[in-house]
Structure formats: C-alpha cells, structure tokens
Amino acid sequence: MSGSVVGAVALSSGAASGAPLRLDEPLSFWGGLDLATGRIVDRWHPQSGASVMGRVMMMPCCRGSSSGSAALAEAIRAGVGPAAILLLERDPIVIVGAMVAAELYGRACAVALARAEDWDRLAAATRLTVEAGPGGATVVVEA
Amino acid sequence: MPLELTDFDQEILDGAHGGAAAFAMRLLMRFAEAVAAERFLDIEAAHVDGCLYLGRASLDFVERMAGLGGKVRVPTSLNVGSLDLIHPELFLGADEIRKAGARLMQAHVELGCAPTFTCAPYQSVYRPRFGAQIAWGESNAIVFANSVIGARTNRYGDFIDLCCAMTGRAPAYGLHLSENRFASALVEIEGVPDGWEAERVCVAVGHAIGRRCENLVPAIVGLPAETNEDNLKALGAAAASSGAVALFHAVGLTPEAPDIGTASGGIEPQMVLRLSADDLAEAARSLSNAPDGAPLAAVTLGTPHFSIAEFARLTPLLQGKKPRVGIWINTSRATREELRARGWDKTLAAAGVTLVVDTCIYVTTLTPRGAGVMMTNSGKCAYYAPGNLGVDVAYGSLAECVASARAGKVVRL
C-alpha cells in the first residue's frame, strides 16, 4: 500500500516502519520508560502504561533528566525502543541516544525533525515509514 | 552554514590526540550538525553524568573510550553512580548491577575524571566561575550552573558530556551564546500560601514552571527576598524534572537578572504565567501521592546532594526526641568530610540519620522495603521516586519531614 510522502530533516540515520504513537506530553526516557519492557512508567504522563516498542514515537521534544540519552540507547540495545522518533525540535538528548546505539551496536533508530503543519496528519496515520540518511529524511504516511 | 573545524579540531578528528578523542570528536561533529552549530568553542570544565548504571549501553560506551586509552582534556567532575562505594553494604540491588555499576564508576576515573560522584558539583571545588564555558550533564546541575552562577552550558546528555571532556570542545550553540540566554517566559508570583517559607515556595514554583514552561527560559518575579542558594537549587531541580528548564532568571536574585529588562533583553515573552497562592498550594499538593497521616517507611533528604548549609539548617531541628523512622541523606564525599571535621556526623548518627554518598536514594536500591511512604523535601525526588522505586511519596518542608520522622507518619505543620 503506498501513501503520501512528507519531507523531514534527518537527525539520526535509519529506516523503519510502525504505527505512530503521538505523546500528548513530552517524555523523559530516564525515569519515564521501563528499559526492560519499553513501557511508559512516568505516573504523571497521560500515556502512562503505553509501550513505545516498535512504534514511530512522536513528541515535540523530550523532557527532564539529562540521563535520557543512555536510557534511550539502552532501550534500543535491548530491543524495546521505538522504531523511529519524530520531533519538532532538534532535541540533543534524543539524537545522541540514537547515535550511540548506532555506533556501539549497529542498531538504528531513525530520528527526524518534522514540520509542525504535518504533525496532526502524521499522528492520524495507521502506519508511518521513516527513512533518514545523509540525503535527508522522508516519512511515508499510510492513512 | 556548515560546521567549521579549527586546525585543532581537525587534528583530534585525525587521531593526533589518540583514538578515544577521535571517537569523541566524530560523535560531537554529528551532534553539532544535528543541533545546527557552526563551530566548536573551548570549554574550561566538564561534569559527566555517565556513572549511573542503566544497562549495558552506558558501560559499553565508557569501556570503548578506556580501551582506546583516552584521558579527559579539562578538569572533569563526576555525577552520582549506582552505589555508595564508601558504604557498599547499603546497596540492596542485584549483584550484577553492583559489579557493573562499580566498574562504570571506576572506568570514568581511569579516564582522568575526579571521583566526586555528586549531583551538586556547584557546591564543591568544581564550582565554575561566572561566564565560564562548560559542558555539564545532570539536569539539576545544568540549571544551577546557568541560572545561579551564570556559567554557560547546554543540557548535555550523557555520552556528549564525556565527548566534550575528552576533546575540551563543545558545539557553539544554545546557552553558550549570549543572545540565547534572555528570558522567553515571564513568571509572576502573585501570592504565596500563608506561613510558607522560601523553601516551599521555590519547590512549588519550580514544579509549576517545569510543567508549564517546558524548555523556555523563565524570568521569575516575586520570589521571597530571603530566598537562598539552596532554595534556588531546589527550584531548578524541580523545574528540570517536571520540564526541560536549563536556565531561569530570578529577578533581583540571580546574576543575569538584576532587573526584568536585563533578564529579557527587552524582548517580549512568548508566554506569561501568573501563579497565585492557590496555584502554589496545588503544585505542592500534587507532589504527594500519599495522604496526610499515612505511616512512614523513611524520610529522604538531599536530592540534589545536601550542602553544608542545609545540614546547618537541619541539625537544630533534630534536637529532642529521636525520630521513629530513619532519615536518609544523600550528600557528597566532600561534604561528608566537612561534617566529620565539624563533628556533626555524630549528632546526625545519634538522631538516626544515615548518610549516603556517591549516589542518590531515588536512583538505586538502598532503603529497606517496608510498608509505608517515603517523605522528602525535594520536588525532584517526589517527582521521580514513584516511577523509579515504586513507592508512594509525600512532599513536605524540611521541618515537616523531621516532624513526620519523629511521629512515624506524614505530619503537616
């Protein structure tokens, strides 16, 4: 099934598909994510209990502790991390976590910067395919 | 604009300063491109938040640096680890985590980092000077260095803080640059609940601005005149837990904010947040998920690490009846030495206080798991402990924490 294509900026290379998971509030990977299961355990978070594993996670930026990068890298290593992450800001904590997982383990979690005007359409898709590389990033949106 | 490298940057990248520095520079370059920095700048110090064992990834990263024979290029302090190396018997977690956690701390020391193991390096000899360019990890330390001292760092996550330390360079973007340090949000405190001391006001304000201002730079007007450094520390720690605040200005209190015009650079705020006494009371209430009167398992203080000034405020409160439940206080090795030199360690032990160094109670398995609530005067600890430790938490002022420890249940004053 083909879908429409939305342009984005590549922040960390990778290619993956998954159902979108739009977070209603930013998440701190450290303290907010169970690194054994990929579930959100931040009791303050509106999506507490949801799993990020294999999803295309959408959040404007992450939140809280600067230990988020290691937590994200560990989640990716353990195979419970998101398939890809779409941001609205160049959040360095997310970028570094994905980058280190790629360097140490060769496991890619694509990270891309989307446009605010595309956000609702991306979140409403049944499936997103994110491709991010040196040439830029695209997101294929399946309705 | 593409990223521009100096001859020195290029030398590091080419391996002239060793394989570890080259690896660090490679990561830094990709990071700098991602955040759209155009160049690197020299840093004079780093604070590395990589000692907390979160799983294989954190250890694999530093082992690779150590395996390549790396050494840090600038004075580098270390954040907390997973265990108290001086009192390892306090650790109640799995043996594998104990071993990996100890190795992680040791591997950082082999890279030339100082074994400070504190989340409050700004209250140690590693306190930076006003205007210093630094690369710091640990959200509470970042917000303190920027806001209370006027040093300059971005929110460096772990890995990148170490890469900056290994190269002595940081990407020139964000809060390193003067034009990004002006206030982008205005926070006006319109009233405070009756009887509240600056301690509680600051935690409530921090929690509220974190939730509302996310990563804006708030300028706060109307904090109590008696607000001290430890109150601002608590404010920043709470704001960097419930939000991504890396810099705030407390007008009339912090060095880049003698007045609102200077703090904002004359730029209109993107948001205005007015906090009433009711808003502050609600913010403080929301930090507790245990009801008043609930039986206590422990009181924990020192998130971030308790300073000598905080111990000085605590010790008079401990005079009198010995508390029924234990008080656990996280602090640094350096502060513990100071307590010994002053003879305060004996007073504290007599009052049932357990000192924890090198780590923090809310990141690791230390307190005996019994029935009951954990009480703290820290907005940060109250925020994270339920998720990290699976405990119920009550937030209260320092005096309420001590009174509750004495009563064995959550008491309000």
For A76-114, the pLDDT digits (tens) are: 999 999 999 999 988 878 888 998 999 899 999 999 999
Q: Which residue has the higher pLDDT, B314 or B390?
A: B314
B295-302 average pLDDT score = 94
| Rounded distance between C-alpha atoms, residue A79 and residue A54, angstroms | 9
Does A70 contact B at CB distance below 8 Å? yes
**Per-residue pLDDT tens digits for B62-74:** 999 999 999 999 9
Q: What share of chain A is helix, strand, coil (3-state, %, to 5)?
A: 25, 30, 40
Does B215 contact A at CB distance below 8 Å? yes
How many angstroms away from the CA of B315 is the closest CA of chain A?
A: 31
> Residue B85 pLDDT > 90, yes or no?
no
Picking from A12, A7, A11, the residue whose alpha carbon sits closest to that of residue A101 is: A12
**Per-residue pLDDT tens digits for A104-143:** 999 999 999 999 999 999 999 999 999 999 889 999 999 8
Percent of chain B with pLDDT over 70: 97
Chain-centroid distance of CA B107 in Å reads 22
Q: Please, what is the Cα angle at B22 between B18 and B28, to 5 degrees?
A: 145
Q: Is the ipTM of this complex over 0.90?
A: no
B82-102 average pLDDT score = 80
Q: Which band of pLDDT confidence, cut at 50, 70 and 90, is reported for residue B96? A: confident
Residue A20 pLDDT: 97
Picking from B94, B33, B23, the residue whose alpha carbon sits closest to that of residue B62 is: B23
| Rounded distance between C-alpha atoms, residue B124 and residue B138, angstroms | 15
Contact list, B160 vs chain A (CB under 8 Å): 69, 92, 96
Residue B52 pLDDT: 85
Q: Which residue has the higher pLDDT, B389 or B380?
A: B380
A60-67 average pLDDT score = 68
Retrieve residue B308's tokens. 């000598």
Active site residue A65: yes
Q: Which band of pLDDT confidence, cut at 50, 70 and 90, is reported for residue B363? A: low
| Rounded distance between C-alpha atoms, residue A62 and residue A87, angstroms | 9
| Rounded distance between C-alpha atoms, residue B48 and residue B362, angstroms | 19
| Rounded distance between C-alpha atoms, residue A129 and residue B106, angstroms | 42
Backbone angles phi and psi of A51, in degrees to 5 = -105, 135
Chain-centroid distance of CA A21 in Å reads 9
Residue B385 pLDDT: 85
> Residue B372 pLDDT > 90, yes or no?
no
**Residue from A67, A72, A93, A95 whose CB has the most chain B CBs within 10 Å, to mutate:** A67
How many angstroms away from the CA of A118 is the closest CA of chain B?
A: 21
Picking from A6, A3, A4, A1, the residue whose alpha carbon sits closest to that of residue A58 is: A6
**Per-residue pLDDT tens digits for B260-290:** 999 999 999 999 999 999 999 999 999 999 9
Q: Are B63 and B18 in contact (CB under 8 A)?
A: no
Single pTM value for the model: 0.88
